[in-house]
Structure 1
Amino acid sequence: MSARRDEIVEAARLVFLEGGASAVTVRSVASRAGIGASTLRHYFPSQRDLHNAVFTAAFDANLHDLRIRDTTVPPRDRLLECLWQFLEAADSTEAALEAWLEGFASMVRQRATPEMRAAWTAFTRQAQVRTVAWLEILDEEGAMLPGTADRHARMLLALIDGLAVAMLVPETRPTRDQLRETLGDAVATVVTG
C-alpha cells in the first residue's frame, strides 16, 4: 500500500471514530487528509472502495487470528476464541454497542444514508471474509463438519448478531458465560473436537 493511501485510510478511520459511518464521505475524508477530492478519488474511485478500505484496516488492526493455527489447541476452542472477538468488541464499551445498534437499526428501518449502507456492507463483508478464513484453516486440518465454510460463517455471524441484540436489553442481558456457552454450542455444530 502506498503512503498516501495509508494516510487517507487513517484519515477515514478518524472521521469514522469521531462521527460514525455517515460522516465518512469523500469530502470529509479528503479534508481530514489535507488533500483534494480528486486525489482521494484516484486512490478510492468509489465510496464503497473507501469504506471497504477503512473496515479492512479496522479488522486487521482489531480482529486477530489468535491461535487459529495452533493445532495443540482443540479446533472448537480456537474458533470460539476467534469468534468471541466480535462479541467482546460489542461489549467493550457502551459507545461500541450503541454504534452497532445504530447501524443495525438503520438497516432494519431502511432509513440508512448511502454512507451508512456502504459502511454496514463493508463491515459485514469483512466479518464474513475473516470468519471464512478461520473455517478454511480448520477445514484444511479436517476439523470441519459437513457444509461449506461460507455457509457455516453465515450461520455463526447471524448468531453473533442475535447475541449482540440480546446484549442491548438490560433486563434480559445474557451474562458473559451465557454468551460464551451459546456461541460454543454454535461452534460445535460446525467444527469437530
Structure 2
Amino acid sequence: MVREAGPGSRDKIVHAAMTMVGEDPGARLSVRAVAARAGVSTGSLRYHFPTQRALQEAVLAALYDAITPGDLIHDRSVTAEERLVGCLRQVLSVAGVGEQARAGWSEIFKAYIEHEPTEDNRAAYLAIEREAHRRVEYWLAVLGDEGAVPEGDNARRARFLETVLAGLSIARALPSEESILATETEVLRAAVDHVLGRRT
C-alpha cells in the first residue's frame, strides 16, 4: 500500500486554527472546533498540543512566520536600522489600512475590550502578546549579536516597539490628512533610532 504524501495531522491542525483566526480574530480555538475543522480526532489534536496554550502559541508562531517570510532581520546587505524598520513594517502590513484596519480593530474591541474578556479570550490575547514580544525581542537579540543594539534590557525595548506598533496600527484605522506611509516611516525610524541608541 502506497501512502499519499500530504500534510501531517499537526500541520492540518495549525492550518485549520490559523484559518479560524483569519476568519474571526476573536475565535475561540476549542479542541472540538479546531479538530473538526482540521478533519482530525480530538485525541490527535491533544497528542500534538496537550494544552490550549501550546496550540495557541503554535498558531501564533505560524502566523508570525507567514507575516515575516524569510525574516529580513538576517539580511546583512541592509543596515540594522533598515532591517528592523522592515520587520516592524511587515507586522503593520497585516493591519491593513482604512476599512480593513477599522474592521480588524472592531473585532479586537469586541473580543477583548467591549465586555469583560472570558478566560479563553484572555488566554488568547496573552498568547498573542507573548508571541509578538518574543518575535521583537528575537530581532533585537540578532542585532545585538552584531553589535548594533547597545547592551541593556531588550525586553523593555521590545515593549516600547510593540507600543509604537499598536499606536500606528490604530492610526491606520483613523482618518488622516497626512500620508500614512510617510508618517509611519518617520515614527518607525525615530523609534528604531531610539532603540539602537542613536538619539536625535
Normalising by structure 2, report the TM-score. 0.82
Quote the residue 2:135 is aligned against: 130
Identical amino acids, percent of aligned pairs? 36
Quote the residue 1:33 is aligned against: 38
With 162-171 and 148-157 compared, the bigger mean Cα shift is at: 162-171
Quote the residue 1:52 is aligned against: 57
Matched letter for residue 133 of structure 1:
Y
Q: Shift of residue 45 of structure 1?
A: 1.9
CA shift in 2, pair 1:43/1:100, >3 Å? farther
More helix by share: 1
Structure 2 spans left out of the alignment, 5+ residues: 1-6
CA shift in 2, pair 1:21/1:107, >3 Å? closer
1:186 aligns with 2:188: no
Cα RMSD between the aligned structures?
A: 2.5
Quote the residue 2:90 is aligned against: 85
**Contact 2:98-2:172 at 8 Å conserved across structures:** no
State the secondary structure of the residue aligned to 2:74.
Answer: coil
Residue among 172, 195, 200 paired with 1:167:
172
Structure 1 spans left out of the alignment, 5+ residues: none
1:13 aligns with 2:24: no
**Contact 2:168-2:184 at 8 Å conserved across structures:** yes
**Contact 1:21-1:115 at 8 Å conserved across structures:** no
Matched letter for residue 15 of structure 1:
M
Quote the residue 1:118 is aligned against: 123
With 71-80 and 155-164 compared, the bigger mean Cα shift is at: 71-80
State the secondary structure of the residue aligned to 2:40.
Answer: coil
**Contact 2:26-2:121 at 8 Å conserved across structures:** yes
Normalising by structure 1, report the TM-score. 0.85
Quote the residue 1:140 is aligned against: 145
Residue among 61, 69, 73 paired with 2:66:
61
With 35-44 and 47-56 compared, the bigger mean Cα shift is at: 35-44
Q: Shift of residue 102 of structure 1?
A: 2.4
Matched letter for residue 150 of structure 2:
L
1:73 aligns with 2:78: yes
1:149 aligns with 2:159: no
CA shift in 2, pair 1:42/1:71, >3 Å? closer
Larger Rg: 2
CA shift in 2, pair 1:63/1:167, >3 Å? same
Matched letter for residue 48 of structure 1:
R
